Chain A
Amino acid sequence: MSEITNTHTGALPSSLMKRFGPWIFLAIGLIILPFIFSSNISVYTMNLMGIFIIFALSYNMLLGQGGMLSFGHAVYFGLGGFMSVHFMNYVEAEIVTLPVFVLPIFGGVIGLVFALIIGSFSTRRSGTVFAMISLGIGELIASCSLIFVAFFGGEEGVTGDRTMGPVVMGVDFAQDIEVYYLIAVWAFITIALMYLFSRTPMGRMANAVRDNDERSEFIGYSQRHVRLISFCASGFFAGIAGGLFAINFEIVTEENLNALTSGVVLLMAYIGGVGFFIGPIVGAVVFTLLQTLLSNYTEIWQLYVGVLFVLTVMYVPQGLTGILAMHGPAFKMRRLSGLFVPYLRMGIPTFAMLAGISGFLEIIHHVRSAAVGETSMSLLGIEFNSHDVMPWVIVLTLAAIGGLISRTQLPQMREAWEIANAPLDSNEGASS
């Protein structure tokens, strides 16, 4: 299933447009995005997005491409960040003279070195053993960061100043928009490299080992070596992402390499869809949007992200990209329009139900955590007293009615889905 995007390009003589089209599109997109979203907060968000895209893609080299579930990938991200911020300080102290934009390389190198050391024993087996070792190493490095203060800076972390490097072509990185283009260039290069990696003999064997590690040994490949090389490449790119993080925020702390960050990258890759190359990109974009936008409106945004993750794991293990890809056949048969009305009929009550549920959660949260005596809250600009009965009745009714109506709409949507996909046998669309 994961190969849907890949197999069709395999060995087929594709025209130039088909081959380079997505890359030109990506490059143009990266260039013009800041003109469309030019506010400070959007540039901030996009910077974070770019960093997380690289990070999530590097993670997917393990999980999606190589079948290795890691709970400690932030180690390489964080180490890359620390290394880069140290080099930033060396540049400032004029110990070395380097333009700031090459600093992520040092992040990548330390990510690679540590991946080589840790991978040399952790990639012996995949599955549970690998996952447990990655978790242990993650905790180990995270606790080291509070012990080796000289490198990790203890609890305050290490700070730097990106503007102190030599000015190249009038760019001193004093503004976020300059950092945006730095991140965009790095993102473009690393996305391309990671994609190309997946198309090399090594990348193909990573998939083969993921599918069937035993058989790969009977066609001449050591599963351990294949995993180790994937692991090192993944650590390298994670380190680059960490380096960009250091440049963007000018501070790296223990938080950037602990289990929380490792969890975040797993979440991003999974929500986006680990079976697709672009899955983690989608996941990183969605996650960053939720993190920066949703957190403006609600304090319990993490709960929603968690619920989204659980729902993804349960109902659409192929992730958000998988949902899109599921519509591919119908799109090719030009039947997508037939799904529009059924989706609308399903979507409106479902939306009402979700609104009701989240309203309910918000009110509970307010009642439990607001200051004593503070009883008025606002949702969507509507002010009300959270201790009254009425708001509770309204949100619960909304949730119940929405839920009931959406249930009645399920058969018609399923039917429409089956009509749209007539020659194929699939009814998974109902679960989205």
Chain B
Amino acid sequence: MTSAIALDDLRKNFGPAEIIRGVSLNIEKGERHAIIGPNGAGKSTLFHLISGRYNVSGGSVSLNGENISNLPPYEIYRKGLSRSFQVTNIFPRLSVFENVRCSLMWVSEYKYSFWHLVDREKKLNLRTHEVLEEIGLTSRQHVPAGVLTYAEQRALEIGIAAAGGADVIMLDEPTAGMSHSETDQAIELIRRITVGKTLVMVEHDMGVVFDLADRISVLVYGEIIATDTPENIRNNKAVQEAYLGAESEDA
């Protein structure tokens, strides 16, 4: 069985600065995988490389056995990989409803159609309502997304990423800046939407990581120093050395 995501000696440099220094990683289908590491380790860069936002400098990225290195993001999305962003990245002037509906349009095979009227497409609108229900924003659906509260925007961010039903979902710090109760809700949400799917997440909150992840990779200065189950990662000496500061900070 091929891995959902396979990274082979992946490298990225910006000028002389090498940010990702040879990352090899296999993420199995159906796995919930967390990537952790201190600030500046290159976690977000790694996400950008996999999702096509950045071009890779060396090595390769495969999705379900197919090489997707350097494809534009929309091609990668069409192959079944969807992601959210660390800094909320929504369509601020569109209503919440429109935000979700737009994220459903490609997978509903509308493509660049200018011969369908969106308001008439019952199935599309029905599905939009379902997603809104799922992310708990039904009551806010007519509000422009830009005026939502921070936690609501984060929920929408996850909703946009997950709405299309991609097989592989990548979440970049989904609970960043949330309060405890909001974090709990977010975890519930992530759990619900990723049933039967592959989840890759970057997360700082160790509670969330150990709660959700099947396996954890530790990224330090552009290299993965360990990939293992949460239990083993917790007891890993090298990880403790590299990561102790950040971990105790969050605890």
Contact = CB atoms under 8 A, between A and B. Distances in A.
A11 B128 contact: yes
Given A217-B72, A218-B77, A220-B106, A200 B116 contact: yes
B12 interface: no
Contacts of B115: 200
B51 A218 contact: yes
A207 B98 contact: yes
B93 A221 contact: no
Interface string B116-144: 11110000010011000000000000101
Contacts of B95: 3, 7, 10
B113 interface: yes
B150 interface: no
A114 interface: no
A41 B183 CA distance: 67
Contacts of A233: 114
A222 B72 contact: yes
Nearest to A11: B125
A283 B53 CA distance: 40
Interface string A185-214: 000000000001101111111011011101
Contacts of A214: 53, 89
Contacts of A1: 93, 144
Given A1-B144, A200-B114, A207 B91 contact: yes
B160 A3 contact: no
B78 A220 contact: yes
Contacts of A2: 93
Given A11-B125, A11-B128, A199 B91 contact: no
Given A11-B128, A196-B117, A221 B106 contact: yes
Interface in A79-102: none
A201 B116 contact: yes
Given A219-B160, A220-B164, A208 B102 contact: yes
Interface residues of B, number: 45
Of the listed residues A9, A196, A202, A220, the one surrounded by the most CB atoms of chain B closer than 10 A to its CB is A220
Of the listed residues B74, B128, B129, B142, the one surrounded by the most CB atoms of chain A closer than 10 A to its CB is B74
Contacts of A10: 95, 97-98, 101, 118-119, 142
Nearest to B97: A10
A199 B98 CA distance: 11
A1 B146 CA distance: 10
A8 interface: yes
B112 A229 contact: yes
A390 B119 CA distance: 64
A221 B75 CA distance: 8
Contacts of B111: 201
Nearest to A8: B142
B193 interface: no
A75 interface: no
Given A1-B93, A7-B95, A220-B107, A201 B112 contact: yes
Given A201-B113, A202-B113, A229-B112, A217 B77 contact: yes
A215 B89 contact: yes
Contact of B160 (A207, A215, A222): A215
Contact of B118 (A200, A215, A226): A200
Nearest to B51: A218
A366 interface: no
Interface string B81-99: 0110100011111110111
Contacts of B118: 10, 199-201, 204
A322 to B, nearest CB: 13
B82 A204 contact: no
Contacts of A212: 89-92
A204 B128 contact: no
A199 B142 contact: no
Contacts of B103: 219
B32 to A, nearest CB: 21
A220 B74 contact: yes
Interface of A: 1-3, 7-11, 196-197, 199-205, 207-208, 210-212, 214-222, 225-226, 229, 233
Interface of B: 51-53, 72-74, 77-78, 82-83, 85, 89-95, 97-99, 101-103, 105-107, 110-119, 125, 128-129, 142, 144, 160-161, 164
28 contacts: A1-B144, A2-B93, A3-B93, A7-B142, A10-B95, A10-B101, A10-B142, A11-B129, A196-B117, A200-B116, A201-B105, A201-B112, A201-B116, A202-B113, A204-B94, A208-B91, A208-B99, A210-B93, A211-B93, A211-B94, A214-B89, A215-B89, A215-B90, A217-B73, A220-B74, A220-B77, A225-B112, A233-B114
